[in-house]
Amino acid sequence: MSDDADVPESHPRYESLLTRHRIEAGVDMGITSRQGLIAQGRGEAYDYLLGEATINSADRAERAAAAYLLRADHAVVSVNGNAAALVPGELVALAEATGADLEVNLFDRTEKRIERIADYLREHGAEDVKGLTADDRIPGLDHERAKVDADGIGDADVVLVPLEDGDRAEALGELGKTELVVDLNPLSRSAQVATVPIVDNIVRAIPNVTEHARDLRGDPDSQQEVIDSFDAETALTDAEAAIRGGV
């Protein structure tokens, strides 16, 4: 994006400012909602306390997420406006590395935004993007994020839900789906109910999961070992300690 060039790489907050520009550009393109600006700021605060780096427990969570995606019968990566603005190409690369589907899912849903995000993902290499059909619903939710594709999230056994709403994360879990959540707040409901809570910035988390997936691909024994050795409670405890104590 053109605004990226306005931030000198020598700036001590280069990466943080870069993500802000991407969210702003997402709003201008009609991909990200204005509420997404607030959500981005909230996440930045936690990332600052984490030292704007991937802590060890987050890396272990990212490896576990990769293993779950590879072992899934049907994995789906849920994409909202902020995720699309921040890591469109990285989401496409993750889907390709794991065989997962991409599905657009929005709280502030309009058909125009859904189509714009789907088109944006295609511009970054996606061949098939779900979310436009919305012929199924997640039970117990009264808002637009309940709408999913029957052959997408509706059918999935493993769902990666970056920057997710807590109530839908909880509802997906109640359906028996394995949830992989990217959330910088370890105390959020999304992180608390996740099978794998990844407490990391999405701009680092998605490429890391992809790298781990490429490393684990074709090795089901290692995949299962990674899954068996991962403990969600420990990951959350470690992340909270890092935030409270400083990195």
Split at pLDDT 50, 70, 90, the class of 27 is: confident
Please give the pLDDT value at position 1. 40
Split at pLDDT 50, 70, 90, the class of 151 is: very high
pTM of the model: 0.90
pLDDT one-digit tens code per residue, 220-244:
999 999 999 999 999 999 999 999 9
Domains of the chain: residue spans and CATH: 56-245 (3.40.50.12640)
Q: Which residues of 38-77 are buried (b: 16+ CB within 10 A; e: fewer)?
A: ebbeebbebbeebebebbebbbbbbbbbbbbbbbbebbbb
CA 92 to chain centre: 12
Give the residue-averaged pLDDT of 59-79: 98
* Contact assessment for residue 196 and residue 228, using Cβ atoms and an 8 Å cutoff: no
In the chain, % of residues over pLDDT 70: 88
Q: Which residue has the higher pLDDT, 246 or 128?
A: 128
